[in-house]
Amino acid sequence: MHAITAGPSEAGARPTFAKRAFYVLKAWMQSPMDVATLCPSSPYLTRKLADRDCVKNARCVIELGPGAGGTTQALLEYMRPDAKLLAVEKSTVFSEPLHAIHDPRLEVAMDDACALAELATKHEFGLVDAVISGIPFSSMPTSVAKTIAQSIHQVLRPGGVFVAYQIRDHVNEFARPLFGPAKTEAIPMNFPPLTLYTWTKVCVGQNDTTDRHEAKAVVHDQCA
């Protein structure tokens, strides 16, 4: 684990919005099915994702699909000085802007979200407090989306929070059997407008109104 020398006010380099837009367009041209939008997340959206208790009080956070790093920078601004963030990005186009964020709390993994459980172990994250995801569940094969949703549930501690920002509602199909109903919030001040989905992981059997048979098959940790 890196020594902590930076705080929330020192979140590293800040590529301009135009520079991030360039990387997003380049990644979309290379692999359009893996990029959710042609426009980087708006400051309004990144603040909505970062300014919440599950981020501000977290010890370990995982971000899936950080892209050019706008949300990554926002998360670092609000996270504790002793916290750590693992950003998992599949597109190599985004390697340069992500590695340009100089913050000792940040670890970047250029890898597939399907390997989330292995990556959490490799980077010694253990069970994490929050997973923030912008990867487009609507454009994934069903088997891939199920694997990623199950991996997210697996790496979250009981009481941990999963937040997904999506243009379409496909994520709900894969997350609901594991987490139960989502709390949703419309985000009109973004291009394109999208929806935030928020789930909190509870222990199997704690919520009698939700069917959790899929969760039992993939979650190995238990509530203390």
CATH of the domain at 136: 3.40.50.150
Answer whether residue 118 is part of any domain: yes
Answer whether residue 121 is part of any domain: yes
Into how many domains does the chain fold?
A: 1
Kindly report the backbone phi and psi dihedral angles of residue 122, in degrees, each rounded to the nearest multiple of 5, phi listed first. -60, -40
The helix (H) or strand (E) run that includes residue 163 is strand 156-166
pLDDT for residue 208 = 37
pTM of the model: 0.79
pLDDT for residue 41 = 81
Tell me the Cα Rg of the chain: 16
**Could you give the CA distance from residue 15 to residue 112 in angstroms, rounded to a whole number?**
24
Answer whether residue 87 is part of any domain: yes
Which residues of the chain, if any, have pLDDT below 70? 1-39, 203-224
137-162: pLDDT as tens digits: 998 999 999 999 999 999 999 999 99
Domain hosting 153: range is: 35-201
Answer whether residue 2 is part of any domain: no
Answer whether residue 112 is part of any domain: yes
Kindly report the backbone phi and psi dihedral angles of residue 162, in degrees, each rounded to the nearest multiple of 5, phi listed first. -110, 120
**Could you give the CA distance from residue 180 to residue 56 in angstroms, rounded to a whole number?**
24
112: tokens are 């597939």
Answer whether residue 105 is part of any domain: yes
Answer whether residue 173 is part of any domain: yes
Answer whether residue 10 is part of any domain: no
